[in-house]
Structures are given as C-alpha cells and as structure tokens.
Structure 1
Amino acid sequence: MMEYLSIPTAAGSFDAIAAGPADGRPVLLLHGFPEAAVSWEHQVAVLGDRGYRAVAPDQRGYSPGVRPELAAEYGMDSIVGDVLAIADELGWSRFDLVGHDWGAAAAWWTASEHPGRLRTLTAVSTPHPGALGNALRTDEDQQMRSQYMRDWRSSGTEKQMLANNGEALRRMFEWKVPASRVDEYVRRLSEPGALTAALNWYRANRPRAEIGKVTVPTLYVWSTEDVAFGSTAALDTENWVAGAYSFQMLEDVTHWIPEEVPEVLTALLLEHLSAH
C-alpha cells in the first residue's frame, strides 16, 4: 500500500511516496528532471511488497516545502545534504541509494563522499560524473548531446517549455511515458516558481571539486537510445568504480528507463540488492 509522507529537515519538508514495513531494509530513490517521486511508483510498490522500506522524495525545488529561489542553493553540496538529511530523519544510518538522471548524479556524489552511509548504489541513465566530464572534454558526440544543459540556463527557458500547454516538456518524454503521468509533471511544473526551481539544478554553479572513484557496490543501467548520455561516458563509468560493479545495457530503450521498462529495471534492482 502506497504511503504519502512529509519528511521534515532543516531545509524544509520533503513530500515523498513510500511503501513497505517500517523495519524493512531501507531504499531511497531519487528522481530526475522534469519528473517527480512518482516516476518511481512501480519500483517503490514492488520493493515494499518484497519487504524493503522504499521511500522516494520529491527533491529540492520539486517539493513546495523546499523551493529556495536562488540558483546557488541548488549546488551539489546542498543536494547531497538533502539526501543525508532525509535519511537521518527516517532514522537510516545506512541505506541503499537509487537515482535516475539528476537523481543519479546526486547518488554518485553521495556515494563518493559518504560511502559509509550506503549499502549499495544504483545509478540509472547518468554515468559517473568523472566519466561524463572526460567525455565532455574529448567526445564531440557527448558535447552535442549535452548542449541542452547550457541552453536551459537562459532566462527564457521557462516560457518556452510551458508554451502551448507544456508542449516542449511533453516532447522530452518521447511518448515513452504514459500521457497521464506526463500531464501530472506538466501540471506540477506549471505551478508558480516550480519550473524555475527545477531548472536551477542546471543553473547552479558547475563544476565543483573533482569527484573520486566510488567504492560502494554499484549497478549502472544505461540504455542505447538515451539522447542525453552517449556510450563513451557509459562505457568509461566502470573505470570510476573501485568496488563491485555491474553494468547493464538496455537495447532500444530511451532515457526514461524507470517508466518505460519498469519491470526490467525493478528486476535488475532487486537482483543487485539481493547480491549485496
């Protein structure tokens, strides 16, 4: 049975969905742009049924209770701080961390800087930031794929994305996410200040300090039709993991793995969790 939580932290209260017994093995799932916690609805429900305690929060900027106005407040230090603050409030000294898109970036940084807090890491779509940084310096294909990150820093992005009932936002999902779910994302991001807050993840000052290799047991899931992340960074990610590592490549799947192939991803996640 799905639960709806409000998780208080010093930064504000995070909305979240959750399932599973209170004493179950804790799993935290982080969504990306332009989604919300409900992108993990299938995974949270299945994990809960299997006896895990699964929680997926609406992240900084997506939860109305944690929506600072300044882009500087969306740096990775703040975002990693949110991950730890949520876990602390839930009473989790150690937990499994799962992330997609920006949520995966947050998960990589958390695993690098606080390995003692994590039992395992599962990163979906987004490669290790070190591998992505290398690709951005050396690979023209990745440079082209990542142009949108620079484009979305411009002040006119909100108006362009929300025009014609969020047509540009809807097109991002490549018709691979159920229309009713996309409607929900557009509705949420049409609330005053919501899209600006979400875009502040791109507008915060980058880059930050160099990230090191990850020692936590890691599963990385990448799909061949991902428009944002090419094979160069995906294949290089193994060189940035010093611990146990599994790389799963999904053929003919787009960027939206959690919702496009939820059963496939959930099976891979359960296998990873049971192995560690």
Structure 2
Amino acid sequence: MEFEHVTFDLPHGTFHALQGGDPDGQPTLVLHGFPDHPPTARPFLAELGRRGRNVVAPWLRGYAPSPTAGPFDMAALTSDVLALIDRWSPGRAVELVGHDWGGAITYDACVTAPERIERAVTLAFPHPLTFISRLTHPAQMRKSWYMGLFQMPGSGWIATARDLAFINRLWRQWSPGFSLDPALKAELHERLRASMPAPLKYYRAMLRPGMLGATRRMSRPITVPMLQLHGANDGCILPQQVDDRHRFAARRALEVVPHVGHFLHLEAPEAIAERIAAWAK
C-alpha cells in the first residue's frame, strides 16, 4: 500500500506527513514518539489502511522536515495536532493513535478537545499522571535515566555522536531482539541528525512551568473511548501495574501484548493493527 508525502500549513509552520489507506475510511491520525518518525511505521500504517482507515502520520514539531523551532511544552505540541485535525478533517472526529511522546500528546488532546476525537489508542505510554507516579519506582527510575541526561548542555552532541550510537543503544534496550530494517534505519538517522537537539527539548520542557498546566488538564477524567496497548518486554516504560480506572469516564481497555517491546507497532504491525480494529468495532 502506497503512502504519499503531503504537507499541511498550520499556525506553527508547514508540517510534513505520510498519507494513505482508504480515502473514504475512518480518518486516523498516527503520532510517533522518540526517537522515531513516520516512515519506520509504514507497515503498521498500511495495516491500518487495509482495515478501512484513511491514515495521516505527521512528523511532529521538532522533527525535520516539520518545524524544529519550539516551544515544546505540551500545550504547544497538542495545538499542532488539533490544528492538523481541523485542517485535514473539518467537521469529522478522528481516531487518534499515539506512540510514546505521541501517546502523551494523545492523552492531552483527549482532555483538551474531546469533541474532535472519536476514539483514541495509546501505544507504550500509560496515562501521564500514572506514569509520573511511577517515576519514583526503582525499576522505572533505572529505565528513565536518559531523561536526566537530556537536561544537560551538550546532550544533543552525545545523541548524534559516533553515527547515533546512543540512539541505537536506546532502540536495542527498549525493544530487545528487534532490529529496524537497514534502509529505514538509515532514513531515520538522516532525519534525526537534521532535527537535533529539538527532539530532546521535549524532555527539557517537562521541568518547566508549562508542564504544570498539562498536569492540571490531565487531572480531568478522559471522556474519549481509549485503548491502551503496552509491550510486555518494554525496556523503556514498565507495563502499567496500578489501577487508574478513575482517570477514565468512557470505555477503556488496557492490554499488555506478549513478545513485543517498546516499539510494539513496528515489531508486530499486523497484530497491533488487528487489536485496534477489533476494539473499535
């Protein structure tokens, strides 16, 4: 299934995206995480398209060729997504699928503008307040060590040094046993070099006052139906181990998927797309 490179002129600049699937199908917006971009997910996007979705997957703010200028607080990131929804699917609510940081934006979009989202799926990211509450857990602290590194001056150089060896290390740790196709890996590395250090500024924004506004918003129950999928072998974020049903006021399902890690939709694109399709029926 072919996906074309398209652009959207939004308030923050020209955003680039991949678009394909069923042009008459359910509008589905797929948001990538760190350190990633839409082309690595082509097999997953194609599987969504085969299941009746009209799919758009943008390069998020901070990721070339979309604008790499900030700010990078959650409100700014969410405003890009809502503007894209208004531009691409005016008058029709979308299915929103977000992985990692794209998942964090998905939660925020659901509490900021629930009327624009028909249903949502998050991959490898629990409810943000649930995640924050787990950051003091020793096992999660060990997995999240890189967040502290990214606060340091020069961390952009560290991330890109020696042919992005640091980024490659994160991929290996986060999805053990998974290897990205060499051509896709080379394309990702090229885009990340063009983007740095902007992707790291997401993490720096976490410690700034703007994050307090997102925390207050996320205290409101989510009224959008939501499916949460998490890889059992995730080496970045622990599968959810606490009961947070009170954070959801609509239909919600939580599934831990065996034999996959943090990049679960890349490791098992058909299986993850099928879980989403089955839940959405």
TM-score by length of 1: 0.90
Contact kept in structure 2, 1:7 and 1:15, CA below 8 Å: yes
Q: How many residues align?
A: 267
CA offsets, 1:114-157, max 9 Å, x none? 111111010000110011122124x2222332222121121221
Say which SS state the counterpart of residue 243 (structure 1) adopts.
coil
Gaps of 5+ in 1: none
The answer to which of 174-183 and 50-59 deviates more is 174-183
Q: Does structure 2 conserve the Cα–Cα contact (< 8 Å) formed by 1:218 and 1:245?
A: yes
The reply to whether residue 151 of structure 1 matches residue 155 of structure 2 is: no
Give the Cα–Cα distance (whole angstroms) in 2 for the partners of residues 253 and 238 of structure 1. 24
Task: Give the deviation of 1:178 after TM superposition.
Answer: 2.3
Cα distance, 1:270–1:9 mapped onto 2, change above 3 Å: same
C-alpha distance in 1, partners of 2:132/2:22?
40
Shift of the 19–182 alpha-carbon distance from structure 1 to 2, 3 Å rule, reads: same
Alignment of structure 1 residues 1-276 onto 2, 5 Å: 1-68=2-69, 70=70, 73-93=71-91, 94-137=93-136, 139-174=137-172, 176=178, 177-191=180-194, 194-206=195-207, 207-209=211-213, 210=216, 211=218, 212-231=220-239, 233=240, 235-273=242-280, 275=281
Shift in alpha-carbon separation, 1:15–1:188, aligned structure 2, 3 A: same
SS of the counterpart of 2:97?
A: strand
Decide whether the 8 Å contact of 1:131 with 1:236 is kept in 2. no
* Distance of 1:235 and 1:258 partners within structure 2: 23
Q: Relative to 1, partners in 2 of residues 1:234 and 1:79: Cα closer, same or farther, differing over 3 Å?
A: farther
C-alpha deviation, 1:49, in angstroms: 3.0
- The answer on whether the counterparts of 1:131 and 1:234 sit within 8 Å (CA) in structure 2 is no
Distance 1:234 1:218, change over 3 A: farther
Query: Cα deviations across residues 56-78 of structure 1 (Å, max 9, x unaligned)?
Result: 0000011334111x4xx010000
Are residues 163 and 63 of structure 1, via their aligned partners in 2, closer, same or farther at CA, if it must alter by over 3 Å? closer
Secondary structure at the residue paired with 1:173?
helix
TM-superposed CA distance for 1:167, in Å, is 1.2
Following TM superposition, by how much is the alpha carbon of 1:234 offset from its aligned partner in structure 2, in angstroms? 5.1
Q: CA RMSD in A?
A: 1.8
Asked if 2 retains the 8 angstrom alpha-carbon contact of 1:127 and 1:234, the reply is no
In structure 2, stretches of 5+ residues that fail to align are: none
| TM-score normalised by length of structure 2 | 0.89
Q: Are the aligned partners of 1:31 and 1:39 in contact in 2 as well (CA < 8 Å)?
A: no
**CA offset at residue 86 of structure 1?**
0.5
1:17-51 deviation per Cα after TM superposition (whole angstroms, max 9, x unaligned): 11134332210000001110123312322232333
Q: Which amino acid aligns with 2:272?
A: L
In 2, distance between residues paired with 1:149 and 1:60? 19
Kept in 1: contact 2:32–2:99 (CA 8 A): yes
Q: Percent identity?
A: 27
Q: Which runs of 4+ in 1 moved over 6 A?
A: none
Q: Which amino acid counterpart does residue 85 of structure 2 have in structure 1? A: A
Q: Which residue type is aligned with residue 121 of structure 1?
A: A
CA deviation map 1:162-213 (0-9, x unaligned): 221111111222151223222221111112xx11111111111433232122
Q: Counterpart amino acid of 1:208?
A: L
